[in-house]
A = this chain, B = another copy of it.
Amino acid sequence: MKLSSRARYGLRAILELAQEYGNAPLQIKMIAEREDISNKYLEQLIAMLKAAGLVRSLRGPRGGYMLAKPPAEIRLKEIFVTLEGPMITAECLEHPEFCPRCMDCATRDVWAELQNAINGVLESVTLADLVERSLHGKKNSNYQI
């Protein structure tokens, strides 16, 4: 179970936009350079974010991209789902009729728990949180092995 580069790149890119919130639009070229991502590939990722209504754009010279709403109003869940597709560990969670064994299937519960755990994390963090964490030099980091 690995994260796609779409999600990794995409989150980094939109975080750049969040950090620039309120200022002039940021160009693809800039983001691609800062984050070391292919220009053209990033273009597609941001297009997805735009289609999802998380980002808006300005064309022409001095154009670029910016967040469509304040960083505090964008949860990582939205970004993740946009780039990675809906977070479904098992089909039968959404469509119980899909599997005739659903009624007494203990494995189904596990996938549900897993899904809840993941959603819990992604729904609890907003872009504003990440911006703040960056500013404070990762003091809030809770990474551990």
Query: Which residues of A approach B to under 8 Å, CB–CB?
Result: 1-3, 8, 11-12, 15, 35, 76, 80, 84-85, 87-90, 93, 101, 103-114, 116-118, 120-122, 125, 130-131, 133-134, 137-138, 140-144
Contacts and interface: CB of A to CB of B under 8 A. Distances in A.
B137 A104 contact: yes
A110 B138 contact: no
Nearest to A143: B112
B1 A134 contact: no
A64 to B, nearest CB: 21
A120 B121 contact: no
11 contacts: A1-B84, A8-B107, A12-B107, A76-B110, A106-B133, A106-B134, A109-B133, A110-B121, A112-B144, A114-B121, A114-B122
A35 B117 CA distance: 27
A32 to B, nearest CB: 14
Given A114-B122, A117-B118, A122-B114, A104 B134 contact: yes
Contacts of A114: 118, 121-122
A121 to B, nearest CB: 5
Contacts of A108: 143
Given A3-B90, A114-B118, A109 B143 contact: yes
B130 A107 contact: yes
